[in-house]
Structure 1
Amino acid sequence: MMASTGDCTESQPSTSYSTESSQPCRQFEFPEILLATDNFDESLVIGHGGFGKVYKGKILIGSSLVVAAIKRLDSMSTQGSEEFWAEIDMLSKLRHCHLVSLFGYCNHEKEKILVYEYMPNGTLEDHLHKLATPLSWLQRLKICIGAARGLDYLHTGTGIESGVIHRDVKSSNILLHDSWAAKISDFGLSRIGPANQPSTYVNTLVKGTFGYFDPNYFSTGRLTRKSDVYSFGVVLLEVLCRKRAVDRSLDDEQWGLVTWAQDSIKDGNLKHIIDSDIRGQISTKHLKEFVRIAERCLLGNPKQRPTMAEVVVCLYSLLTLQQKINSSLQATGKTIFGRVLDMFPFPSNGENSAESDSKLSSNSKGDTRNAGDTIGGEIKHFTIPIPSLKVFEYDDLKRATRNFRQDLLLGREGFGQVFLGWVDRNTFTPSTEGSGIAVAVTRYSEARPEWKTVVTVLGRLAHPNIIRLLGYCNDKKPQCFLVYEHMQNQNFGHFLFGDVAGPLSWGTRLMILIGVARGLAYMHSLKDRFIHRDLKPSNILLDEDFNAKLGAFEWATIGPETGDTYIVTSLAGTLGYIDPEYVKTGRLRVGSDIYSFGVVLLETLTGRPVLGHLFNLIEWATPSLESRHKLKKIMDPRLGKNYPLNGAFECATLALRCLAKGKDRPSSEEVLWSLEQIYAKQIMGRTYV
């Protein structure tokens, strides 16, 4: 392990750190990795996650043979080259005793492997939730302080021009050395952020983990160092309560640790949230101080949250006072439990016991997975025969797109590039440019698992308002290809927000919304209720007649069979459009698509994107949706007065219903019926503003 500097001891709460001296991060040869892992012997596996397996092995570092943790990225992982190189780039620049050290990497053909220092005591998550390790209160405080120091170094002390935002702070990313020293790990989602500014605006696909996700980042798209502070506040509660960030043992209607703990604190039931193992080790005063630190980290307004430097100082102060109290009590033969028992009466009937928790857990429904799954990952794959799809050959697609000529590039999606091509209408063989039928060929640079999701989902769906998948190609690995019908008018977002000559009329907008609702109603009504998970204007495709078709099914999944059941899974979607209840609790329902539809409906009315610089459309527009007079002021100015005010107001009312809490949202069938009624009224009596 790399030697620590004097700044990285437990004797002082220093918030200014030096970097560690170390061997530089180097590239390992693949035979070295095979030797270290005994050809990836399964008996050496010490961990497994969304990235793949982690092996324990001995590797040569300089002239020494050291134990290392060797992470091998699975070819079917939701993580790929971007996260792999981001981890290397980040950890090769950062050295600190509270950050895990990267010894090197191996990039051999399809193999992507990272080699870290070995952490004998695994993760904080392991000891809190899997191994039930009897961690004392002092041990927990020291672990929290170590992790906080690592984050403070990232934010302000890296020695590089900009600070670093980790973006995935959670207990499973806090590793523990044999001395129980905490180290922050997993930098695949990290981003460089301005060191001298309070925030940086990042409009991107959501990244993070259920339960730890900063609600402000979700609602505004603004990623800040305070987003890490929020996640660390969740970790503080996790350490105190020994409950997962999303925990099935909590209230049946509320699995989120943060809300559960905050409600308990508000109700004066602080005693209910403490892990029974440490109740006799912490005084009431220090408990309240610790909870106060966590609460400040979890404040809704990021500007009101403390910096990690402040958190370090506050936690260290608590540790110092706790150690003094312990020494004093030991000298008199007393315990904290005996001292505070009368002031802090805990129930003796087991109401806070593990047995009680298990009773709550047994009432949970649905297919669940633990918190800790990374956002953007797929939920599941479907394995079914798809006779309706053609299996294309790479050479045929190469000819159809004129060797993927750049002037035929239609655009770039989150998962790959899209090219225009031509094939025969009946055989789908390549045809000359301009003859046959036009197709859109999406090229994935890697065989990411999402392409299989698209194939298996769209292979089962057939509806006029859902994009038609013609076939796929997977014989040019690692690339893979999907072939769709071509949509001449690109997407709805192109007309709502792009620089397009002439705005869409009110009638056209309404028909597009009706088309989307028809597609959703079809998906949600099937026996296997499909959930789209990424409904937004850019994923609403338009043909030459402006008929709407739902596209982008990379994150689609099968939903619950009834509205009363739910699943917990990895979060996926786009900032601003994701159902807040899905983010908060991990519960995905067909109603999550309805929330996204409500956002699209607002964008259609106002002509504004949901997220803009220092702007959130939902917060801005909601106060104006309950009054016709106020609604007129926020309507898309490009419509002029060419829309029926009553119809627009009914759409605004529908949007509010879609954005309501889950149980109060309409079904997709109700949404469709409402829109069709609005359209019918417009046709029968054209009353404009």
Structure 2
Amino acid sequence: MMVNVRSFELLLWLSSVLCLVSVSTAFDPVDNYLIDCGSFTNTSAGNRVFAADHTSTFTNLSSPQNISINASLNSISSGNYSRLYHTARIFTGPSNYSFSIKKQARHFIRLHFFPFVHETYNMSTAKFSVSSQSFTLIKDYQSQEGSSVKEYSLNIASDRLVLSFTPFANSFAFINALEVISLPDELIPQSAKTIDPQGSSTGNQSLQRQALETVARVNMGGKDVPPQNDVLWRRWVSDDAYLKHSNLVMFVSNTSIVNFTDSVTENIAPRDVYGTATIVNSGSDPNSNVNVTWNFDVDPGFEFLVRFHFCDIYFNNISSLAFNVYINSRSAQLDFDLHKLPSYAAGNPYYMDFITRESDNPKLHVSIGRSTLVDAFPNAILNGLEIMKINNSRGDFDVAESTSPKSSKTRVGLIVGVASGSCISVGLALVLVLLCRRRNRLARGHLKADEQFAVKEGHISAIFSSSKIGYRFPFVAIQEATDNFSESLVIGIGGFGKVYRGVLRDETKVAVKRGGTQSHQGLAEFRTEIEMLSQFRHRHLVSLIGYCDERNEMIIIYEYMENGTLKDHLYASNFPSLSWRKRLEICIGAARGLHYLHTGSTKAIIHRDVKSANILLDENLMAKVADFGLSKIGPDLDQTHVSTAVKGSFGYLDPEYLTKQQLTEKSDVYSFGVVMFEILCGRPVIDPSLPREKVNLVEWAMKCQETGQLEDIVDPTLTGQIKPDSLNKFVEIAEKCLAQCGIDRPSMGDVLWNLEYALQLQGDEGKSSPKGETSSPNNHSHSQTGLSNTEFSTASVGDLAGVSMSKVFAQMVREEMREM
């Protein structure tokens, strides 16, 4: 029996909201999903009801297996959520939870983990990642003893939230429970004051596009505040474990005096937080100079949003309550006088937000202490503190290996071990001296090569910084990896140059793109691609491994993609035909990569050359977007487009961009719509060997759609594979992508949601193996083009089978202009 998805979601949402009413009526979240994963019955936990996920309403479980398991009762710890930890959902392949979002705003995402031991699965050994939108929430799950709750705040800008669980090879993923709750608009600021490591303010920094991970949520005054006492179900832990000198403080409590205002409501922090405090214990000595400090473990290399909560519940009988506030011994707020605030009254809450700049320090110190005001008595108070990690430039929360405390400890241990023998120490010292001298010579050689390259080319404005773009490889290492650029290792040819398969000394397989030095366009693409790829990392974007600019070479080294290009699998080689399900999964992967480009940084990155030849497939046929040589930074917030010369690939170009030279993210959306029809039809975008009405794939597909002959365009190898609802949804979103005006096209986020839905409509039928083969008797390869395993560039004529590109292009432009 099939359940209406929308109706079930509505019922679950209503039940979740009703159960929260018993806690508080201060905030009524529009979206309030509480899921007990792996359970077959709803579960009450802390006055809330978590719905069973035994139906597929919220799940798009595309893994070979998703399993519900139970724990033995004696393995469950006590606590507010203990009833949720009796079950877990196990994923042995990539899987999703998908939620309809009614309010496009910030949401809490809480992931509950309790790695109990099952007869089949020991969850403490699980290795997996968790992602949502363009953010990697967990890059490598690390098991902890007992239960743990990971809390994130994401600004959701679409009507669908997808949580993706991806197991590592030979491992699995799991989840015990999860929450998705829309937040009050005032909870997370649009921007906050930034404090750099030197202690000076650098103005406000926007948080609109940033994701946050809760690192610490602390209640001062030595008391825990359980989730039941917070309208947003936040847990506040006691500050006594973080205090540096507990003998310098006093814990005070007076919850009855707390008086919430219009500007600070219980949504910001509960009464139990503002009604307790830690204050400076200066006794009666007006000359004491005491600072109270709390220490927190944090991941180095990240920025943090730090929120201070204040409420005078103790000093209301004095005229001035001035003190200093510090973060990492730097001044955040000097001479802060709580009593001088315009909104001050005894018991009125107040809070302040600051953003810390990146630091290599694995500790974050917060202090309050005596004001610099001469006549100020040494009093200070703090009621609560929140620390939230801000995602890095790659869109994740993972610690960089170079700054990891763990790796630092490992290096220290290694040095200590080596130094245990005096002879070995002397030998090590000699080796280090030789290495340093060699590194200095290499550095001088690289600098000289850089300078020659810059001078000779003339239009390189600056020397590439290895700290900015990663690893620079010596030319001889690349020669060795590619057998001196053997023609037998060529896997692609484009306008930029040839692409070789290579193997580094550590057995890493790589793709090596070697450009020609004569092309100015090639030089610009070389620089752009390195700069773009160095800014981000995403599982659906091809990763940059390194580069080489010695001897006037322009060489970029990427991760090697075992299965070549999507184009190869559709019609340009002898690969087995892809099943419909695998094509949908590839579409979804590419859409995720493009969505990350458009939303993963302050300004969107526009790819500008989206096509099937630039979507690569790894050993498991997972899609990754490649070739960023034409990419462009998107418009500022106060602009609608970027005016630039038209660049891209024939057949995929946005007509609005072509005629007006106005580039937006929607130009990528149009190109992606072309790729979608290419995937559905299994033929080139332009094929002059066909009758005139079929030469242009987009025109032909749109005409067949209008006349109700959609089945005529579907790749014959897919016969009998596609469910009608899945096909209709797929064509519907492709058609929207191809709207003539960019404003009428959906965002990549909307495209991604619709593709996920099309996959859900397809169900489990036609599910492909890891390599993409199906049992369909219609498997055969396309050979009509006679093309080799080659990637063509912007000016390529490969898609035209020898027909003049300029003639076809000119004809189509003339027709386009006549129709305008």
Q: What TM-score, normalized to structure 2?
A: 0.40
Computing the radius of gyration from Cα coordinates, the structure with the larger value is 2
Question: Higher relative contact order at CA 8 Å, sep ≥6: structure 1 or structure 2?
Answer: 1
Could you tell me the TM-score, scaled by structure 1's length?
0.47
Q: Which has the higher strand share?
A: 2
